[in-house]
Protein backbone atom coordinates (compact mmCIF):
# COMPACT_ATOMS: atom_id res chain seq x y z
CA UNK A 1 0.00 0.00 0.00
CA UNK A 2 1.44 3.42 -0.95
CA UNK A 3 2.29 5.96 1.69
CA UNK A 4 -0.28 8.71 2.17
CA UNK A 5 0.77 11.98 0.57
CA UNK A 6 2.30 14.56 2.89
CA UNK A 7 1.25 18.07 1.88
CA UNK A 8 3.96 20.72 1.73
CA UNK A 9 3.28 23.77 3.88
CA UNK A 10 3.40 27.10 2.05
CA UNK A 11 3.25 30.44 3.86
CA UNK A 12 1.53 32.41 1.10
CA UNK A 13 0.81 32.41 -2.61
CA UNK A 14 2.91 34.54 -4.96
CA UNK A 15 1.71 38.10 -5.61
CA UNK A 16 2.01 37.40 -9.35
CA UNK A 17 1.94 33.97 -10.89
CA UNK A 18 3.08 34.72 -14.45
CA UNK A 19 6.49 36.04 -15.51
CA UNK A 20 8.42 36.27 -18.74
CA UNK A 21 8.71 38.01 -22.07
CA UNK A 22 5.87 40.45 -22.61
CA UNK A 23 5.62 39.73 -26.34
CA UNK A 24 4.80 36.00 -26.02
CA UNK A 25 1.28 34.59 -25.96
CA UNK A 26 2.26 31.95 -23.39
CA UNK A 27 1.03 28.87 -25.26
CA UNK A 28 2.18 25.51 -23.92
CA UNK A 29 5.28 25.45 -26.15
CA UNK A 30 6.53 28.78 -24.80
CA UNK A 31 5.63 28.14 -21.17
CA UNK A 32 7.29 26.58 -18.14
CA UNK A 33 5.03 25.53 -15.27
CA UNK A 34 6.36 25.82 -11.73
CA UNK A 35 4.34 24.51 -8.80
CA UNK A 36 3.58 26.63 -5.74
CA UNK A 37 5.72 24.35 -3.55
CA UNK A 38 8.65 24.81 -5.98
CA UNK A 39 8.12 28.57 -5.75
CA UNK A 40 8.15 28.33 -1.94
CA UNK A 41 11.56 26.61 -1.91
CA UNK A 42 13.00 29.38 -4.11
CA UNK A 43 11.47 32.01 -1.82
CA UNK A 44 12.72 30.42 1.40
CA UNK A 45 16.21 29.39 0.25
CA UNK A 46 17.21 32.07 -2.27
CA UNK A 47 15.27 35.10 -1.01
CA UNK A 48 14.96 34.50 2.75
CA UNK A 49 18.38 32.80 3.04
CA UNK A 50 17.27 29.62 4.82
CA UNK A 51 19.22 26.39 4.52
CA UNK A 52 17.57 23.38 2.93
CA UNK A 53 17.17 21.90 6.42
CA UNK A 54 15.42 25.04 7.71
CA UNK A 55 13.26 25.17 4.59
CA UNK A 56 12.26 21.54 5.12
CA UNK A 57 11.14 22.28 8.68
CA UNK A 58 9.05 25.25 7.54
CA UNK A 59 7.43 23.21 4.76
CA UNK A 60 6.94 20.17 7.02
CA UNK A 61 8.82 17.74 4.75
CA UNK A 62 12.18 15.93 4.70
CA UNK A 63 15.34 17.77 3.65
CA UNK A 64 15.79 15.35 0.75
CA UNK A 65 12.30 16.24 -0.47
CA UNK A 66 13.16 19.96 -0.36
CA UNK A 67 16.39 19.25 -2.21
CA UNK A 68 14.51 17.57 -5.06
CA UNK A 69 11.85 20.29 -5.22
CA UNK A 70 14.54 23.00 -5.20
CA UNK A 71 16.55 21.36 -8.00
CA UNK A 72 13.44 21.15 -10.21
CA UNK A 73 12.49 24.75 -9.41
CA UNK A 74 15.93 26.05 -10.38
CA UNK A 75 15.87 24.10 -13.66
CA UNK A 76 12.52 25.68 -14.48
CA UNK A 77 13.77 29.18 -13.64
CA UNK A 78 16.82 28.64 -15.85
CA UNK A 79 14.70 27.33 -18.74
CA UNK A 80 12.44 30.36 -18.52
CA UNK A 81 15.29 32.87 -18.37
CA UNK A 82 17.66 31.30 -20.87
CA UNK A 83 15.07 30.21 -23.44
CA UNK A 84 12.77 33.22 -23.07
CA UNK A 85 9.74 31.25 -21.94
CA UNK A 86 6.84 32.40 -19.78
CA UNK A 87 7.02 31.08 -16.19
CA UNK A 88 3.58 30.13 -14.83
CA UNK A 89 3.27 29.35 -11.10
CA UNK A 90 0.30 27.14 -10.23
CA UNK A 91 -0.73 23.85 -8.67
CA UNK A 92 1.37 21.43 -6.69
CA UNK A 93 1.08 19.40 -3.51
CA UNK A 94 0.71 22.12 -0.89
CA UNK A 95 -1.48 23.56 1.84
CA UNK A 96 -1.40 27.16 2.98
CA UNK A 97 -0.31 27.63 6.59
CA UNK A 98 -2.89 28.68 9.15
CA UNK A 99 -1.35 32.15 9.51
CA UNK A 100 -0.84 31.74 13.24
CA UNK A 101 2.89 31.26 12.96
CA UNK A 102 2.65 27.55 13.80
CA UNK A 103 5.86 26.32 12.20
CA UNK A 104 6.01 29.04 9.56
CA UNK A 105 8.72 30.97 11.27
CA UNK A 106 8.96 34.38 12.81
CA UNK A 107 6.76 37.03 11.22
CA UNK A 108 4.27 34.78 9.44
CA UNK A 109 1.26 36.24 11.22
CA UNK A 110 2.56 39.78 10.69
CA UNK A 111 3.24 39.04 7.02
CA UNK A 112 -0.34 37.90 6.44
CA UNK A 113 -1.81 40.99 8.08
CA UNK A 114 0.38 43.77 6.74
CA UNK A 115 2.66 42.35 4.06
CA UNK A 116 2.54 40.29 0.93
CA UNK A 117 4.65 37.22 0.39
CA UNK A 118 7.52 39.27 -0.99
CA UNK A 119 7.59 41.38 2.18
CA UNK A 120 6.12 44.45 0.50
CA UNK A 121 3.76 46.65 2.48
CA UNK A 122 0.22 46.31 1.13
- Judged by DSSP in three states, 111 sits in helix
What pLDDT, in 10s, does the model give residues 58-82?
999 999 999 999 999 999 999 999 9
Domain map (residue ranges) of the chain: 8-15+28-114
- Judged by DSSP in three states, 58 sits in helix
pLDDT attached to residue 71: 98
pLDDT attached to residue 110: 38
| pLDDT band for position 33 (cuts 50, 70, 90) | very high
Question: Residue 35's closest CA among 88, 95, 96?
Answer: 88
Amino acid sequence: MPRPMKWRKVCCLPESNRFGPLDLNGDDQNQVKMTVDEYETIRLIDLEGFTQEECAKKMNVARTTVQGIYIEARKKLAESLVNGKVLQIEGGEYRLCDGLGNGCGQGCQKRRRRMGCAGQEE
